[in-house]
């Protein structure tokens, strides 16, 4: 059961094509876990299509069609799915939705990051956001931190608690610069997430401040 679905405004932006590539990838993966979210997106797309069809031609700007076509042409096209679910599972440690498999690099492997956390970076053509698969060992956690921009997290396996809420497989956690938290994985298994960040996290506390200059975007 999804206890923390993607919020309606995020689904609306996804359905309308307004989301940047990183958050759009996260929503596309979230839809694989949430039947309710899939139904909501289908409804939003149908409503948007009906509104567009009912709009009189004279109400559109002269260059509206040209602008729309330009946005479509500029939109990033996901690579063909080159990973089977079984092969991706061997690398990642859990099955992952098809949208994520399209972004999984050919040389994918877990690389050590801060505090023993491991990650696989997913290449995005839009550099506004950074997308990574992140693996937190059982019972381990990220340092206490806040955010310099928006952060979107989708749980792919296991679960974590951050001192405010608990998140399990399929749940979406959204943090902004006002949020300070310390995600800790469940004690009985690793937590694997898709993490989409607009800016580096800002570690808090004396030790964290010393490490901040070394953090990747």
CATH code, domain carrying 149: 2.60.120.10
Tell me, yes or no, whether 127 and 191 share the same domain.
yes
Report pLDDT digits (tens) over 25-82.
999 999 999 999 999 999 998 987 777 666 675 555 555 545 444 444 444 455 556 7
Please say if the pLDDT value at position 204 is more than 60.
Answer: yes
Say which residue the tokens 């989301």 belong to.
Answer: 19
Q: What is the mean pLDDT of residues 140-151?
A: 87
Domain termination residue (choose one: 22, 49, 74): 74
pLDDT at residue 98 in the model = 95
Tell me, yes or no, whether 21 and 42 share the same domain.
yes
Tell me, yes or no, whether 70 and 89 share the same domain.
no
pTM: predicted TM-score of the whole model, two decimal places? 0.83
Tell me, yes or no, whether 89 and 47 share the same domain.
no
Tell me, yes or no, whether 108 and 57 share the same domain.
no
Report pLDDT digits (tens) over 96-115.
999 999 999 999 999 998 77
How many structural domains are present in the chain?
2
Tell me, yes or no, whether 210 and 161 share the same domain.
yes
Tell me, yes or no, whether 101 and 193 share the same domain.
yes
> Which structural domain range is residue 29 located in?
8-74
């Amino acid at each position: 059961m999804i206890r923390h679905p993607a919020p309606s405004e995020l689904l609306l932006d996804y359905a309308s094509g307004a989301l940047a590539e990183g958050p759009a990838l996260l929503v596309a993966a979230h839809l694989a876990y949430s039947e309710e979210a899939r139904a909501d997106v289908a409804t939003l797309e149908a409503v948007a299509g009906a509104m567009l069809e009912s709009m009189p031609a004279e109400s559109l700007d002269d260059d509206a069609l040209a602008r729309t076509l330009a946005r479509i042409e500029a939109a990033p096209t996901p690579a063909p799915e080159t990973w089977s679910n079984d092969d991706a599972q061997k690398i990642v440690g859990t099955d992952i939705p098809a949208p994520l498999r399209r972004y999984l690099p050919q040389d994918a492997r877990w690389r050590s990051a801060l505090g023993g956390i491991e990650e696989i970076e997913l290449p995005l053509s839009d550099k506004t956001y950074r997308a990574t698969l992140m693996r937190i060992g059982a019972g381990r956690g990220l340092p206490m931190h806040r955010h310099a921009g928006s952060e979107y997290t989708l749980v792919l396996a296991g679960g974590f608690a951050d001192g405010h809420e608990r998140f399990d497989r399929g749940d979406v956690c959204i943090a902004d610069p006002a949020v300070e938290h310390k995600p800790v994985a469940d004690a009985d298994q690793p937590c694997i997430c898709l993490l989409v960040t607009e800016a580096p996290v800002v570690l808090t506390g004396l030790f964290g401040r010393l490490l901040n200059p070394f953090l990747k975007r």
